[in-house]
Amino acid sequence: MNQKIFKPIRKAVFPVAGLGTRFLPATKSMPKEMLPLVDRPLIQHAFEEAREAGIEEFIFVTGRGKELLEEHFDYQPELEQTLESRGKFDMLEKVKTSEMPEGKLFLTRQPKPLGLGHAIWCAKKLIGDEPFAVMLPDDVFLSDTGCLKQMVDCYNEYGGNMMAVMDVPKEDTQKYGVLDIEDDDGKVAKIKGLVEKPKPEDAPSTLSIIGRYILQPEIFDYLSKFEKGAGGEIQLTDAIAHQIGKYPVNGFRFKGKRFDCGGRVGFIEANIAFSLKDKEIGEDVRKIIKSYEGKI
Ligand code: G1P
């Protein structure tokens, strides 16, 4: 077999400068990425998924009022000593899951909300000349293998640019980047076009981008032009569309359930699903949910 070797995906960009208006007033002074999904903030779910996929460098594109995010991943000696002296070793283990490997967190800022493409462009210097992942912490997955790890495994076969995709209801296409499909084997869809947030009647399909990407550094050539797209914003989708024909551009159908934690309903559903799966509280939560049946 003539298997090509592609450069490994070592770096991931986390755009976290967004305002989180859908959760106001909770997000008035707290970053939306710090909202807890059971016992971990959303950003930690994305961080752990990235680590599982072999990511070594974590690049946060932050903005004003987002300092808590870097604090969260810091080493807290007083807390760890207190837990240790009280014999709370299970809690200590949990705290350690939020520690960033030394020297591996990089921060850059997006000073103005000019769009997702612009946020990624802000990480250009830190990425350099290698392929990288993008993780939108609003999208959370419940799966045996993390979404990014599934993608990296598939990328090692296909190379190029790859996005996590799933079919969405037709009326929802205007919330997503939507694929114009050339070829589809049920797992990998070869893309011949991409449209950001099309109206249902204009959407080329219902197969839509979910917040995980593997991108080639050439994406920065287009992003550096600062061209505005849908909603007057610099769109990552447009930059990827410009790669079609030059590099492989594929959609990857991940295995597992995705939750849109960028809105209240998806966030609450994710909390229910993740807590039902939790070893410590799952059974109690199941009983509580049952107790509400037909009562409210
Ligand atoms: C962004 C992207 C869109 C993608 C979506 C996935 O949109 O622009 O292409 O489908 O994330 O969640 P946003 O949700 O930031 O408006």
Residue 33 Cα, ligand 1 centroid: separation in angstroms? 15
Residue 94 Cα, ligand 1 centroid: separation in angstroms? 31
Q: Is the pLDDT of residue 3 over 80?
A: no
Which residues contact ligand 1 via a Cβ below 6 A? 116, 136, 139, 176-177, 196, 208-211, 236-237, 262
What's the whole-model pTM score?
Answer: 0.95
Residue 248 confidence (pLDDT): 94
The backbone torsions φ and ψ at residue 36, rounded to the nearest 5 degrees and listed phi first, read -85, 130
Residue 146 Cα, ligand 1 centroid: separation in angstroms? 19
* CATH entry, 11-291, from 3.90.550.10, 3.80.10.10, 3.60.70.12, 3.40.50.300: 3.90.550.10
Residue 19 Cα, ligand 1 centroid: separation in angstroms? 14
74-80's contacts with Cβ under 8 Å and 24+ in sequence apart are 74/99, 74/100, 75/99
Q: Is the pLDDT of residue 227 over 60?
A: yes
* Contacts of 47 by beta carbon, 8 Å cutoff, 6+ apart: 14, 58, 73, 98, 100
Residue 2 confidence (pLDDT): 54
| pLDDT tens-digit map of 257-290 | 999 999 999 999 999 999 999 999 999 999 999 9
Residue 119 confidence (pLDDT): 98
- What's the chain's average pLDDT? 95
Residue 83 Cα, ligand 1 centroid: separation in angstroms? 40
Q: Is the pLDDT of residue 103 over 60?
A: yes
| Ligand 1 closest atom vs CA 18 | 15
- For a mutational test of ligand 1's pocket, the pick from 175, 228, 249, 254, i.e. the residue with the most ligand atoms closer than 8 A to its C-beta, is 175
What percentage of the chain reaches a pLDDT higher than 90?
95
Residue 99 Cα, ligand 1 centroid: separation in angstroms? 28
* CA–CA dist 152, 232 (Å, integer): 32
* CA–CA dist 39, 49 (Å, integer): 15
Residue 180's H or E segment, with its range, is strand 177-184
Residue 5 confidence (pLDDT): 87
| pLDDT tens-digit map of 137-153 | 999 999 999 999 999 99
Token pair belonging to 238? 């447009």
**Domain ranges, ordered by start, for the chain:** 11-291
| pLDDT tens-digit map of 37-87 | 999 999 999 999 999 999 999 999 999 999 999 999 999 999 999 999 999
Residue 293 confidence (pLDDT): 86
| Ligand 1 closest atom vs CA 196 | 9
| Ligand 1 closest atom vs CA 208 | 10
Q: What DSSP string runs through 208-219?
A: EEEEEEEE-TTH
* CA–CA dist 255, 143 (Å, integer): 7
| pLDDT tens-digit map of 154-212 | 999 999 999 999 999 999 999 999 999 999 999 999 999 999 999 999 999 999 999 99
- For a mutational test of ligand 1's pocket, the pick from 16, 118, 121, 136, i.e. the residue with the most ligand atoms closer than 8 A to its C-beta, is 136
Residue 295 confidence (pLDDT): 78
Q: Is the pLDDT of residue 1 over 70?
A: no
Residue 12 Cα, ligand 1 centroid: separation in angstroms? 17
What percentage of the chain reaches a pLDDT higher than 70?
99
Q: Is the pLDDT of residue 4 over 80?
A: no
Residue 290, burial from CB neighbour count under 10 angstroms (0-12, 13-18, 19+): exposed
